[in-house]
Amino acid sequence: MSGKLYVIPTPIGNLEDITLRALRLLKEVDAVLAEDTRQSVKLLKHYGIEKPLIPYHMHNEHRELNRFTDMLLSGKNLALVSDAGTPGISDPGFLLIRECLRNQIVVDCLPGATAFVPALLKSGLPANQFCFEGFLPDKKGRQTRIKKLSQEERTIILYEAPHRLVKCLNQLAEFFGVNRQASVSRELSKMFEETVNGTLEELIAYYTQKPPKGELVIVLSGLDVKRAKTEEETE
């Protein structure tokens, strides 16, 4: 009988943000597949959990796919965790989950921490409809993607690295307009958590003077079609 793959969200900062079920399963599985074993061992040690940690990241997920699938088919129960948040959301996980489903291996995905939900709510922008884009392409296709997103009517959520934030905000302003409402959240659930809301122009000015640190989530208001049409007519 095949084992199960448990997709387990881990805290994005505060180690208390983990469910009782997640802790129980981390104690029960045969091994933990971790994006960075150096990070995951801190969480396990904090809760007194001793389990084998096996690297599973973007550089080895193709190479090790068959190995992990065979482990599951042999009856092993495995947990899949990322450094922070839910595996598969801008982190490795998709390939293994897909392979498990192809082999009729049960995949149990637990609810839990993810960065974009609190960032969305703290932005004050509409949360009834939104699109999650994760990280934009580094180079090829980046401007094309931003241009397409500038016409999106739903609230837009992006991830970005701190050293690229100001450049990213300037690129967004070029296509979205400097007056588009936006929000930047960083270090969510951590000691130095911060959310800054304003126009893209205001955010560019703020972060030019105060370079950010830590994990970042950008939230942008969707295109107001009626307003955009009125502005075009008055030009």
| Amino acid 86: pLDDT | 94
What is the count of structural domains for the chain? Answer: 2
Of 66, 93, 89, nearest in space to 79 by CA: 93
- Take residue 51 and report the two structure tokens written for it: 């389990």
| Amino acid 199: pLDDT | 98
Containing structural domain, residue 9? 4-109
Are residues 155 and 228 part of one domain? Answer: yes
Are residues 204 and 123 part of one domain? Answer: yes
Q: How do residues 116-130 score in pLDDT, each as one tens digit? A: 999 999 999 999 999
**pTM of the complete model:** 0.90
Are residues 105 and 31 part of one domain? Answer: yes
At residue 170, what is the residue type?
Answer: N
* CATH classification of the domain holding 174: 3.30.950.10
Q: How do residues 34-71 score in pLDDT, each as one tens digit? A: 999 999 999 999 999 999 999 999 899 999 999 999 99
Q: Out of 80, 109, 138, pick the residue that ends a domain.
A: 109
Alpha carbon distance, N-terminus to C-terminus of the chain = 68
* CATH classification of the domain holding 32: 3.40.1010.10
| Amino acid 233: pLDDT | 52
**29 near 53, Cβ under 8 Å?**
no
* CA-to-CA separations, 156 to 24, 91, 104, 185, in angstroms, rounded: 35, 19, 35, 14
Q: Out of 49, 82, 109, pick the residue that ends a domain.
A: 109
Q: Using CA of residue 22, residue 52, residue 74, residue 103, what is the dihedral sign?
A: positive
| Amino acid 107: pLDDT | 98
Q: Regarding beta strands 155-160 and 216-220, do their DSSP bridges make them parallel or antiparallel, or are they unpaired?
A: antiparallel
User: In whole angstroms, what is the distance from residue 177 CA to residue 179 CA?
Assistant: 5
**Segments in the chain below pLDDT 50:** none
* CA-to-CA separations, 114 to 28, 189, 220, in angstroms, rounded: 23, 11, 18
Are residues 176 and 152 part of one domain? Answer: yes
